[in-house]
Structure 1
Amino acid sequence: MTGSAGRAPGTTAFPRRLLLRTALAAGTVLGAAACTGPAPPARLVLAGGVQPGVYISLGRALAEVWRDRLGTAFAPEVLTTAGSTQNMQLLTSGAATLAISQVDVAADVAGGVTGPNEPMALARLYDDVTHLVVRRDSRFSTLDDLRGARVSIGPAGSGYQPIARRLLEVAGIGVDGLGERAELGLPDAVAALRADRIDAFFWSGGVPTDGVRALAAELPIRLLDLGAQLDRMRERFPVYSVGTVPATTYGLPGPVSCLSVRNVLLATAALDDTTARSLVEAAFTEQPRLAQASPAAVTIDSRSAIGTQPLPLHPGAVDFYRSSKGY
């Protein structure tokens, strides 16, 4: 996680003043494109992700779109976080108004939350793929080869540590079968692999992920093919699907089968319907702009955005999709 000196304007590292809510004065004047109806919540806070990563870049792009189209009152503070698990904790505690999360993590958390803080989806954004990164000149070719190896499974609070644990369990290795287990975020994992302090690291993110792409530009890498585990993973955890990372993505020797999981933009039941609809509508209107900020956003589409199951769609989002014939 970067310090404040390297942080983009409008981005705050968790947990700085998360519970602070500043009341907006009555009669706040929004921009020319502002929506009508109830004012937005007194404070919009979006739980983002790690730097560099798709969540944080997409979260910042969304914040700029909402500010420009709807007015400054709709521009959320974007938090730097460990990822999905921490984001869901922030959302369900009321410390964040909005969050981006993997659907598997969100569903696990949402099952026990009711009332105003119940998580509700605004849109399916894009799909993550699970990367299992090794040096190209290493001896590792399959997940089974990681028994006894030095492996980073991702930090606590991330969305991909649960996936790493599940994959290792399905492979019959488990975290106890590793030689050394590290819990590094993406920047630290990249640095550790480059310095040969670890043999492999897990990461789940959009394709391409900037941090992995930067590593591949200076150190030849491979992604381990997960095809042998995918059927068993999907049998135990139907929320996952199968994906492919093209060889051209990171200069790989060939395409790689991987685990795919949907990412969703979330609010809670406390967010009023008018604000929810306005946020969704602005995001889809400015989809090309989001795609410029993050290549993962190229796939954002109102027809597929309703695929947030098992999470329910927020009524304000439903209203937008019905009017746009995406529901």
Structure 2
Amino acid sequence: MTKYFIPFFLFITSLYGGTAVQGWYPEDFDVAAAAEGVATILDQQGKDVDNIGIENIIFTDADHTLLKTMTPILLRDTSTGQLVKDPKDGTLLRLPNRGAFSSLQLLKQELPSLPWDSIEVDYMEMGSVVALDVTETIDSMVAVLMSSDKMSKNREYIITARSDDDVAAAMEDYFLNLGIDINGVFAVNNATIGDTIGYSEHHITIAQKKALIIEAILHLYTSHENTIKSVSFYDDNDDNLVVAMNLLPELFPKIDFSFYDVVHEGNNIFTIHNIANAKDGILVSPEGEKLSDEDIEYHSYDAPIPDE
């Protein structure tokens, strides 16, 4: 089996414009209002937002972090409203692997005759409750959540790039059937979530949306007489991890952070790697080497999904 996980750290100047809260960070982002938005969303999901005594929080992505997602991502021609078909055989055209941007580039090279200016990625199938129900879990990550869920001072949140309105209810039901009571689900590309948190009008990336949601959740908890001791963030996307590593420890120096990359090794096997930690706002490698003097760029190499 090919070993794909080969991490490295590059120290560069001002990856996000100097300090963590400059550059991409929206100048008019109101974190207090965003925290109230979080409370509204959690209330709508039937979650208790007033409990105190919380000390440890896990934030995790869903697809390829908790779930061995194989749901196809299709393409749609916005000029006709129709799903795009492969001109070679007439089948619906699907992204060939997990990376939307890299997949599109591959398809554009392979099928240059298609009207790419009017073609967009269509995540319709990612909103299917039925598809989610038959998706296999990444057992090592489920074990992490199950262990945390047993602790009264712990909370677990799913922060996913999905966008459908039914994602929260579907995810909650899925994990309840596994015996895990997720404390909240945030689909960062959902329009209502974006409006409620307050980032919809800003041209920011999925990684940046995730970081703002985590910031808002932590602000909500720390303003409710909680002393948050530790936060763990699990994701399979390097950009999501990098943005969170650069932003969150600086904003919350009293919280200990741990960042984990969930890597696809091939053959539908996923492994968890601790890539960085933070204490007193200082980011360090798993071996304790200081990483926070300059911003960090992190890369790992995942096997394609599906396997080639």
Normalised TM-score (structure 1): 0.34
RCO higher in structure (CA 8 A, sep ≥6): 2
Name the structure with the higher helix share.
1
